[in-house]
């Protein structure tokens, strides 16, 4: 009986190693991404908060449209406290109507329901609607941005400052990959009833189909959010969350050189994270860092100073399971031509 259980465990472990991955990466591909000066990343267990992997996670970065996750967090707070309803109308101001794309394009004086505004912000990442919502809640975007920073600090986002509701470029608006992961975890914890808005691959707005910029919603199993972003100054950003086998992970990548490179890196982090979590069930001492295609100059001691291994690895007993080949690297999906902006 014990022998049969052992064999079953071995087969299961090898099956996970074989199926977790979708592509092979080259050291050159990994190195080119990690060499990006804007790049930062973090992967954590949404339940425990354990950091499974990080790279430049505390370095200041421009958040781009991931900013709107905080904008929506505050909107959900207003609704939950009865100070705003999903059915009330938002009036589009001249200032809101004049925001740069991506935008819905409503004219000054027109209205949009709060429920529609939330959907449009989450999917289309409409800057005009984000500003209109901010004005509706706080009277002005400046006042709303002050509340954003206060809310961020309350949530534990110690290194973040916000000056607008949209994420349009401003050198004063800074965050970190760790802070965005903290925000993502807070959204899941505090407003789970509203979280499905981030899972919509598309919405219908007055007969117009609006597709989400988060392509992983339709290409990667288990992904159900959260938000993409792009500006020339920030690069390609993405906060993603996914569930498998009862576990939820959150991955944040900031400063990607292209949409495809960003999406591939997030996919790699999530896939490898789930692989590690599954291996732990067998008592194996494995880490995300051990199974990534890190560039050669980050091997050995240098890697240990840059990558957090995850506090959950200490004290794990290693069973008699035979070693299983580590998953091949994933990050080979480099874009050959420049993507259009999110």
Catalytic residues: 65, 68, 125
Quote the tokens at residue 293.
Answer: 């295609």
Please report the beta strands in the chain, taking only residues with DSSP state E, as ranges in sequence order: 40-45, 51-55, 89-91, 111-113, 202-205, 208-211, 223-231, 235-244, 247-256
Nearest to 264 by CA among 329, 189, 340: 329
Q: Around Cβ 140, how many Cβ atoms within 10 Å? A: 14
> Which residues touch 158 (CB under 8 Å, ≥6 apart)?
179
310: left (phi over 0), alpha (psi -120 to 50) or beta: left
Contact status, residue 112 vs residue 106, Cβ threshold 8 Å:
yes
Nearest to 174 by CA among 61, 38, 59: 61
How far CA 109 is from CA of 31, 92, 144, 337, in Å, comes to 50, 5, 20, 40
Quote the tokens at residue 239.
Answer: 């906060």
């Amino acid at each position: 009986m014990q022998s049969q259980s052992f064999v079953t465990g071995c087969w299961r472990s090898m099956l996970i190693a074989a199926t977790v991955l979708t592509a092979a990466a080259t050291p050159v591909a990994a190195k080119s991404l990690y060499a990006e000066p804007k790049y930062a990343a973090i992967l954590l267990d949404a339940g425990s908060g354990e950091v499974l992997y990080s790279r430049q996670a505390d370095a200041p970065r421009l958040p781009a449209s991931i900013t709107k996750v905080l904008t929506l967090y505050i909107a959900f707070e207003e609704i939950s406290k009865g100070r705003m309803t999903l059915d009330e109308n938002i009036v589009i101001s001249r200032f809101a109507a004049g925001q740069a794309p991506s935008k819905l394009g409503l004219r000054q004086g027109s209205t949009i329901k709060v429920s529609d505004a939330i959907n449009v912000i989450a999917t289309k990442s409409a800057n005009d609607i984000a500003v209109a919502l901010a004005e509706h809640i706080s009277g002005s975007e400046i006042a709303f941005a002050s509340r954003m920073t206060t809310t961020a600090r309350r949530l534990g986002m110690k290194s973040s400052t916000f000056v607008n509701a949209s994420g349009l470029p401003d050198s004063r608006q800074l965050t970190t990959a760790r802070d965005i992961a903290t925000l993502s975890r807070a959204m899941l914890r505090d407003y789970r009833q509203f979280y499905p808005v981030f899972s919509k691959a598309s919405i219908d707005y007055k007969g117009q189909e609006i597709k989400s910029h988060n392509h992983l919603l339709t290409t990667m199993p288990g992904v159900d959010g959260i938000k993409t972003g792009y500006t020339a100054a920030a690069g390609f950003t993405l906060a993603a969350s996914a569930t498998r086998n009862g576990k939820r992970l959150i991955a944040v990548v900031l400063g990607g050189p292209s949409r495809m490179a960003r999406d591939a890196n997030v996919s790699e982090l999530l896939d490898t994270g789930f692989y590690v979590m599954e291996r732990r069930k067998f008592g194996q001492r494995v880490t995300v860092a051990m199974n990534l295609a890190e560039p050669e100059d980050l091997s050995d001691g240098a890697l240990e100073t840059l990558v957090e291994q995850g506090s959950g690895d200490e004290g794990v007993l290693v069973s008699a399971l035979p070693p299983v080949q580590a998953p091949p690297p994933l990050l080979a999906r480099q874009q050959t031509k420049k993507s259009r902006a999110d």
